[in-house]
Amino acid sequence: MKIRTSLLLFSILATWVLSIAGEKLTDMRPCNFPAIYNFGDSNSDTGGISAAFYPTISPCGETFFHRPVGRGCDGRLMIDLIANHLGLPYLSAYLDSIGANFRHGANFATGGATIRRQNESVFLNGVSPFPIDIQVVQFTQFRKRTSWLYKQAKKRSERRNLPRPQDFSKALYTFDIGQNDLAVGFRTMSNKRFKKEIRDIINQFAKAVRDLYKQGARTFWIHNTGPIGCLAVTLRDPDHWKPGYYGCVESQNDMAKEFNRRLKRKVSKLREKLPLAAITYVDLYTAKYKLINNAKKEGFLDKAKICCGYHEDKVHVWCGNKAKINGTKIYAGSCEDPSLYISWDGVHYTEAANHWVVNHFINGSLSYPHVPITRACHRL
């Protein structure tokens, strides 16, 4: 009887708390972010690594842009869809000077980027030389130089592509990084050892947030990492599956969950220590895992299907490349209809999948606190 009474009281209290939170959100005005500054890896890179090294090639970009535009996708990434949702233009990559417009923000993400510095090479393992601490250094330089140029400009036309100095504190600061730290950990150390290293990785991430806060950043939108053990390239690797079985590699997913638990805990502490900041933790893992494990129900093909590239029997020819296999020339082109696939190239998601995921978190249902991105500037 006592247990039932306690459960009833808890239910009533929870309903009351949610109703209060709902009223608060209703009373809040939309934030009207003037700009977005993004930090991350290839999941949100809009052309950084492509500008720094080799450009992306066809058929990347074929669905929306109809040409390669520096994204490892057939179309738009989640950061593109977020910008679109907020009524802002797509972000120019900080490293790409050609045709760049930084009035409404900049993207410091680069493919292969990690939180912690790695003693590896982009040419050896695809690890970016621009980890998150370097991305923050780039932002610091960007803010100082553009602010100086803005003040020196005498004509409005000279300021057209420059951010307004007063907008830096009003902007949205987004993060999508950590997947490559997991990948490096799986490749270079045991799970037991790597689990111990996660604490240091999370601490370095927190330092990046604090450094941006010191420079005036106030609104942070932080994605956790997705189910890396469910990536299509892993599901198609004979080392990880038996014929007829496409279950995710749960040992890798367990490590991603541990990473996310520690990240969420750290975000809560940052919220306490940074009194002027509105910090939102976004559970991308849940959204992506739900999509992958309900692929056919959600209108997609099997989760292990890859749209672009050749991935069979440990032979990987990456999207848009050519190779000779058993004497036969192979061009690893794209599928007929990318919108039916979750995975674009085995690692990255298609635009259709990105749309699905964004639609499941943009309203705040997977955010902590539960706040939609349009009101993320309000501290709850």
Residue for token digits 């890859």?
A: 306
In whole angstroms, give the CA distance from residue 33 to residue 191.
41
308, 371, 380, 298: which is closest to 30 by C-alpha? 371
In whole angstroms, give the CA distance from residue 372 to residue 7.
29
Q: Which of 42, 92, 128, 334 is catalytic?
A: 42
CB 361 within 8 A of CB 372: no
Residue 90, token pair as written in the block? 């797509």
Q: Are strands 328-331 and 322-325 parallel, antiparallel or unpaired?
A: antiparallel
CB 43 within 8 A of CB 78: yes
Task: Give backbone dihedrals phi and psi of 170, rounded to 5 degrees, phi first.
Answer: -95, -10
Instruction: Please spell the DSSP secondary structure of 111-150, one letter per residue.
Output: TT--SS--S--TTTT---S--HHHHHHHHHHHHHHHHHHH
Q: Is 96 a catalytic residue?
A: no
Identity of the amino acid at 79: I
Task: Give backbone dihedrals phi and psi of 323, rounded to 5 degrees, phi first.
Answer: -160, 165
Q: Is 345 a catalytic residue?
A: yes
Q: Which of 223, 311, 316, 348 is catalytic?
A: 348
Q: Which of 92, 334, 345, 367 is catalytic?
A: 345
Q: Which residues are catalytic?
A: 42, 345, 348
